[in-house]
C-alpha cells in the first residue's frame, strides 16, 4: 500500500485506491478495510508496473485476497469455530448437511417408514414427513444463531476499521453503499470488465455474482412469503406452480444453480498469480452449498408429487440447515463485510 500510495497509477480503477490515498500509514484495521473493499477484479495487477515479474512483486489482488480471508477468521464469533471451518470447510458443510438429512430420514422412518416413500399431494404434504412446528423451531434456531454470529463479527470489524460501535451512520452512506453493492459497481476493472484468467476483461464474473446473489434473495423472499401465507392466511405448503412463493423460489433456484457453477468455473480458471490457493477449499465449500441448496430445491419442486418427495425434502432441508450454520464461518461473510466497507467508504467520501 505504501508503494501504491507513491505511484497512484491505479486510482481510477476502484474504491480501494482512493480510500488508500486518504491514509499515510496503515493499521491492521485499515488493511482489513481495504481488503474487504476490494472486489478482486484484477485490473490493478494487469495495469501495475511493479507487479510480477518486477522485483518489487506488488500483487494487490492476491495480497488483499489473503488479508480478506484472514479477516473472516479474525472477526468470527465465537472464535473456537472459525479455525475448524477454515481448515476444512467443505468437509464440515457436507457432514452437517448429510447429518441433518439423516436425522430427518431417521425421524420419518422411526415414526412411519411408509410415509418416507409415499406419494403426498395437496396442502400440508410436506408436514406428513416432519411436523411444521418442529421444522420451524429447528431452522429458526439455526437462522437466529447465524444472524447473531454475523452481527457479532461485523460489530468487531466495524470497530476495527475505525468506526466506534455507537457512531450513527447517515442514510446517504447506507443507500450509496447499497447501490454500489447491488450493482457490483467496483467489479468492472475501471469500466472495461473483470480480469480473471488472462488480460482480456469480461463481465462474466459480474453476471455470475448477480445470478447467485439475487437468486439467494429470491429464495429468501419465497420463504418469507410462504411464512406469511402459513401464519396469516392459514395456507399450507406446497403451493401451486403459479403461486408467488413457487414463482420466486423457482427463479431463485435457477439463479443458485447457474450462478455458482459459473463462479466455480471462474475461480478454477483464475490466474494463479492473483489467487489465494490456501482458501480455495473454503470458497468451494460455500459455492457448493449454494448450488446443492438450489438444485435440491428445484428437484423437489419437479418431483414433489412422486415417491421421491420424501428423500428430496430431507436432503434439501439438510443442505439449507448446513448453509445456515456455516454462513458465519465461510465465504458468505464477504458480502456482509464488503457492504460495511462500502458504507465506510461512502462516509469518507462525504467527509472530503
| pLDDT per residue rounded down to tens, the chain (352 residues) | 888 988 989 888 899 999 999 988 899 999 999 999 999 999 999 999 999 889 999 999 999 999 999 999 899 999 888 777 666 677 777 877 887 888 777 777 766 777 777 888 888 888 888 888 888 998 999 999 999 999 999 999 999 987 765 556 788 999 999 999 999 999 887 778 899 888 889 999 999 999 999 999 999 999 999 999 999 999 999 999 999 999 999 999 999 999 999 999 999 999 998 988 888 878 888 899 899 999 999 999 999 999 999 889 988 998 998 889 888 988 899 999 999 999 999 998 887 7
- Among 28, 344, 340, smallest CA distance to 153 is for 340
Q: Apex CA 273: angle with CA 267 and CA 274, to 5°?
A: 50
pTM comes to 0.91
- Among 12, 10, 35, 8, smallest CA distance to 337 is for 35
pLDDT score for 105: 77
SS3 of residue 186 by DSSP: coil
pLDDT score for 326: 85
Enter the C-alpha cell of residue 206: 459480474
pLDDT score for 164: 61
Q: Which helix (H) or strand (E) holds 338?
A: helix 333-351
Range 86-90 contact pairs with CB under 8 angstroms and sequence separation of 24 or more:
86/279, 86/282, 86/329, 88/281, 89/281, 89/282, 89/284, 89/285, 89/286, 89/326, 89/329, 89/330, 90/281, 90/282, 90/284, 90/285, 90/288
Q: What is the DSSP letter of 326?
A: H
pLDDT score for 131: 85
Q: How many residues does the chain have?
A: 352
Task: Dump the DSSP string for 248-315.
Answer: HHHHHHHHHHHHHHHHHHHHHHS-GGG--GGGHHHHHHHHHHHHHHHHHHHHHHHTTTSTTHHHHHHH
pLDDT score for 111: 66
Count CB-CB contacts under 10 A for residue 179.
12
**Any idea where the domains of the chain sit in the sequence?**
75-351
Amino acid at each position: 500500500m505504501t508503494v501504491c500510495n507513491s505511484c497512484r497509477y491505479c486510482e481510477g480503477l476502484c474504491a480501494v485506491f482512493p480510500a488508500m490515498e486518504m491514509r499515510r500509514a496503515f493499521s491492521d484495521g485499515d488493511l482489513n478495510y481495504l481488503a474487504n473493499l476490494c472486489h478482486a477484479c484484477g485490473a490493478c495487477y494487469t495495469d501495475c508496473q511493479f507487479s510480477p515479474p518486477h522485483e518489487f512483486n506488488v500483487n494487490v489482488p492476491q495480497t488483499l485476497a489473503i488479508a480478506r480471508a484472514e479477516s473472516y477468521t479474525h472477526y468470527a464469533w465465537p472464535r473456537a469455530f472459525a479455525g475448524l471451518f477454515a481448515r476444512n470447510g467443505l468437509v464440515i458443510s457436507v457432514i452437517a448437511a448429510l447429518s441433518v438429512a439423516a436425522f430427518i430420514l431417521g425421524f420419518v422412518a422411526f415414526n412411519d417408514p411408509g410415509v418416507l416413500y409415499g406419494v403426498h399431494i395437496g396442502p400440508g404434504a410436506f408436514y406428513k414427513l416432519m411436523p411444521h412446528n418442529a421444522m420451524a423451531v429447528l431452522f429458526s434456531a439455526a437462522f437466529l444463531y447465524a444472524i447473531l454470529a454475523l452481527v457479532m463479527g461485523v460489530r468487531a470489524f466495524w470497530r476495527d476499521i475505525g468506526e466506534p460501535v455507537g457512531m450513527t451512520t447517515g442514510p446517504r452512506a447506507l443507500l450509496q453503499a447499497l447501490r454500489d453493492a447491488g450493482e457490483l459497481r467496483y467489479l468492472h476493472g475501471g469500466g472495461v470488465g473483470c480480469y480473471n484468467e488472462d488480460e482480456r476483461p469480461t463481465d462474466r464474473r459480474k453476471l455470475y455474482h448477480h445470478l447467485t446473489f439475487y437468486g439467494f434473495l429470491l429464495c429468501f423472499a419465497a420463504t418469507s412469503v410462504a411464512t406469511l401465507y402459513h401464519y396469516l392466511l392459514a395456507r399450507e405448503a406446497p403451493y401451486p406452480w403459479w403461486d408467488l412463493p413457487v414463482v420466486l423460489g423457482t427463479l431463485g433456484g435457477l439463479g443458485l444453480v447457474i450462478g455458482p457453477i459459473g463462479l466455480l468455473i471462474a475461480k478454477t480458471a483464475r490466474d494463479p498469480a492473483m489467487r489465494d490457493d490456501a482458501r480455495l477449499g473454503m470458497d468451494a465449500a460455500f459455492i457448493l452449498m449454494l448450488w446443492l441448496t438450489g438444485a435440491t430445491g428445484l428437484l423437489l419442486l419437479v418431483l414433489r408429487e412422486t415417491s421421491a418427495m420424501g428423500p428430496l425434502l430431507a436432503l434439501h432441508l439438510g443442505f439449507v440447515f448446513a448453509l445456515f450454520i456455516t454462513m458465519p464461518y465461510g465465504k458468505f461473510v464477504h458480502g456482509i463485510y464488503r457492504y460495511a466497507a462500502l458504507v465506510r467508504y461512502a462516509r469518507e467520501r462525504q467527509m472530503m
